[in-house]
């Protein structure tokens, strides 16, 4: 219970998390010692902030915290309904508890990405059902899912989603919309990580030229796209194209962001590679 949001914890969520235990007996003891309180109907529970903190510290001391994280996550996965409109209220009630569990860092990097993927998929399903396939928030959810695939090195799955996002964004938002340009840059990144340099180059050039036209050469997003294209040129072996581009990006970043800014340092390091 300490891993969920401390307020409004539904009885069904606690029962699912404590399967096999005598739930009624356990909750009566907690209420009796004033460690937990119940609402008037006895179906939602609250734990005091200090009790919650003390419990987490105690679990960590016992070495049981990771196991309890898993139990809390599994309970949420079982209780979360399908993302249909009639279940929207239930999803909203469970959302704070999902956010609470996710804020804890899992010991395994792969497990962390697996958790992120699970909730990103749920977010995509919910957005599609409630908002539709072409809504900007749905496209954002799809982009988040593609990002979890990239973080796991699952390039083909990321690529398939990136392509779908771009096709929809071009149709609904237009090529010059910032979200469309971001989705194109994401696909270029996916291509680079697969060593598909020519495809990455084509997209990088397209993104950079559009940003120059729409945002101007000195805009930070334009400079980021210059940096990306310079990396691609260097990987292909086009140093005669890469060096002037990265020199321009470095000069403008030094002017706009100052020499010690991380982005400026990134440009300088690219220039010296």
pTM of the shown model: 0.60
- How many Å apart are CA 51 and CA 46, to the nearest integer? 10
* Residue 214 backbone phi and psi in degrees, to 5: -90, -40
What is the dihedral angle through the alpha carbons of 221, 225, 231, 237, rounded to the nearest 10 degrees? -160
Using alpha carbons, select from 255, 252, 205 the residue that is nearest to residue 231: 205
Tokens of 42: 């006895």
> Which of 119, 133, 205, 197 lies closest to 165, judged by CA?
133
Closest residue by Cα to residue 1 from 11, 180, 112, 240: 11
| Nearest alpha carbon to residue 246 among 220, 224, 221 | 224
CA pair distance 5, 150, nearest whole angstrom: 30
8 A C-beta contact, residue 84 and residue 129: yes
Distances (CA, A) of 128 to 58, 96, 132, 221: 41, 21, 4, 29
Residue 20 has what pLDDT?
A: 67
pLDDT at 209: 96
Q: What is the pLDDT of residue 204?
A: 95
Backbone angles phi, psi at 8, to 5 degrees: 60, 40
**Dist CA 124 CA 151 (whole Å):** 18
Buried b (16+ CB within 10 A) or exposed e, 49-74: eebbeebeeebeeeeebeebbebbbe
Which residues does the chain have with pLDDT short of 70?
Answer: 20, 82-86, 104-113, 267-273
Q: Which of 197, 188, 273, 269 is nearest to 235 (CA)?
A: 197
Residue among 229, 232, 221 nearest 263 (CA): 221
Q: Which residues contact 176 (CB under 8 A, 6 or more apart)?
A: 210, 213, 214
CB atoms within 10 A of CB 220: 14
Map tokens 């969520």 to a residue.
13
Measured distance CA(69)–CA(130) in Å, rounded: 30
Rounded to a whole number of angstroms, the distance between the first and last alpha carbons of the chain is: 51
């Amino acid at each position: 219970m300490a891993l969920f949001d401390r307020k409004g914890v539904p009885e069904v969520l606690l029962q699912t998390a404590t399967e096999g235990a005598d739930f009624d007996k356990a909750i009566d003891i907690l209420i009796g010692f004033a460690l937990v309180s119940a609402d008037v109907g006895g179906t939602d529970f609250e734990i005091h902030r200090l009790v919650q903190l003390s419990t987490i510290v105690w679990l960590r001391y016992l070495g049981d915290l990771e196991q309890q994280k898993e139990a809390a996550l599994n309970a949420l996965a079982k209780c979360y309904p399908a993302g249909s409109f009639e279940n929207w209220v239930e999803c909203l009630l469970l959302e704070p508890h999902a956010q609470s569990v996710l804020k804890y860092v899992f010991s395994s990097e792969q497990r962390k990405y697996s958790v992120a993927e699970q909730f990103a998929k749920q977010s995509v399903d919910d957005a599609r059902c409630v908002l539709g396939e072409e809504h900007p928030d749905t496209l954002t959810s799809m982009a988040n899912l593609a990002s979890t695939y990239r973080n796991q090195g699952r390039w083909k799955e990321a690529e398939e989603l990136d392509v779908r996002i771009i096709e929809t964004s071009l149709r609904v938002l237009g090529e010059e919309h910032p979200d469309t340009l971001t989705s194109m840059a994401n696909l270029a990144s996916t291509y680079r990580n697969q060593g598909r340099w020519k495809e990455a180059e084509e997209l990088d050039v397209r993104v950079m030229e559009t940003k120059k036209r729409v945002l101007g050469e000195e805009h930070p997003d334009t400079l980021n796209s210059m940096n990306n294209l310079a990396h691609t040129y260097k990987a292909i072996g086009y140093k005669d194209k890469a060096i002037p581009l990265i020199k321009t990006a470095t000069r403008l970043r030094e002017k706009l962001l100052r020499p010690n800014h991380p982005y400026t340092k990134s440009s300088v390091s690219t220039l010296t590679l």
